Structure 1
């Protein structure tokens, strides 16, 4: 049995309603599910600033990455399942707050929860799940180093359209902000710190973030 979700308007805000068939506990919606319930979930995530990909009623990687981002912002352990805590949070989501004083367009990256937020003043316009430096030594493709994402205040210095192959692999729409460290799309963005130091972004968000962050855009990286 799949959780039944409906939509009801409360003022100007659309919220999710959980309908429990027959008064029993609703089963959880999860990865690879499909149908009206998933479509409603996708619409709600989109309303809240989390990009679930196309609103097509299919729970794929794009929707899962949006669910992870939403869960992390709301203090829920990332999971593809839409359990009771996530359902409640969709009703009453936490308001994400900026890390730095509000001013113009900027990107904030939070290493502990592994999220990226594009801000316009005090308004978050895109919240994305990411994977940053694994914090361990590595030797890959003949290159050795320590996989760390630096913290600090930076600006986008260089961008590359489409796919670009660097010393450590392929990157989609990379936007560099300190040395060889970039925000870029990747086919592998797990729910853990896994990169060589770059900010891995789900592919469906990479081009959009690239467009939002031209050269000179402030990038703030913090541990919290």
Structure 2
């Protein structure tokens, strides 16, 4: 789908802070990710399609509420499966994410539960490229505690599906890098 209707929807999403790259009138992957983030914030089904209920939420201007009231932080809202970028106390960007699935998995002969740890952390280290780990590939990871990171992935579904990291689309993590909104030392608040 493409055209003026899509462009207007993209512009409205962007105005509300739902990150989709640039509005180009093409309903592609990044627009679908932004729509899914809106659906999560509105408590709707998470399919990335701009149907009637999602369109109504967009028209109402539905946005999630950030908890950070001053300063800057990256918030990971596990309940809604959203990443919120707060700059100078204002919610600036909303990103679709997928966190720990809560399911057991086995690695190196040990069984673990896929959970994303909660608390206040900070970006401690980062790798500007592909990191291949025992659990999979992480694109441009920004580690916030131990082996847990915000990182890019080609798959960011509408539900918790990771081993515990905070999955973003590859273009979304590229944006976090290029925009400078998630530098070393930036607070990462997971709740």
Alignment partner, residue 220 of structure 1: 189
When normalised by structure 2's length, the TM-score is 0.91
C-alpha separation in 1, matches of 2:164 and 2:13:
28
RMSD: 1.7
Alignment of 1:131-170 (within 5 A): 131-139=98-106, 144-170=111-137
Alignment coverage as a number of residue pairs: 189
| Structure 2 unmatched runs, 5+ | none
* SS across alignment from 1:208: helix
Alignment partner, residue 66 of structure 1: 34
* 8 Å CA contact retained: 1:143, 1:168: no
Q: 1:84 aligns with which of 52, 56, 78?
A: 52
Q: Which moved more, 1:166-175 or 1:138-147?
A: 138-147
* 8 Å CA contact retained: 2:100, 2:116: yes
Runs in 1 of length 4+ with deviation above 3 angstroms? 140-144
Q: 2:61 aligns with which of 93, 100, 121?
A: 93
Alignment partner, residue 188 of structure 1: 155
Matched, 1:39 2:10: no
C-alpha separation in 2, matches of 1:151 and 1:79:
26
* 8 Å CA contact retained: 2:38, 2:62: no
C-alpha separation in 2, matches of 1:165 and 1:206:
16
C-alpha separation in 2, matches of 1:116 and 1:149:
13
When normalised by structure 1's length, the TM-score is 0.78
Q: Which moved more, 1:179-188 or 1:35-44?
A: 35-44
Bigger radius of gyration: 1
Alignment partner, residue 25 of structure 1: none
Q: 1:156 to 1:145 in 2, by over 3 A?
A: same
| Structure 1 unmatched runs, 5+ | 1-32
Deviations, residues 13-35 of structure 1 (Å, cap 9, x unaligned): xxxxxxxxxxxxxxxxxxxx222
Higher relative contact order by CA 8 Å / sep ≥ 6: 1 or 2?
2
* 8 Å CA contact retained: 2:131, 2:139: yes
C-alpha separation in 1, matches of 2:121 and 2:41:
23
Q: Which moved more, 1:91-100 or 1:203-212?
A: 91-100
* 8 Å CA contact retained: 1:143, 1:167: no
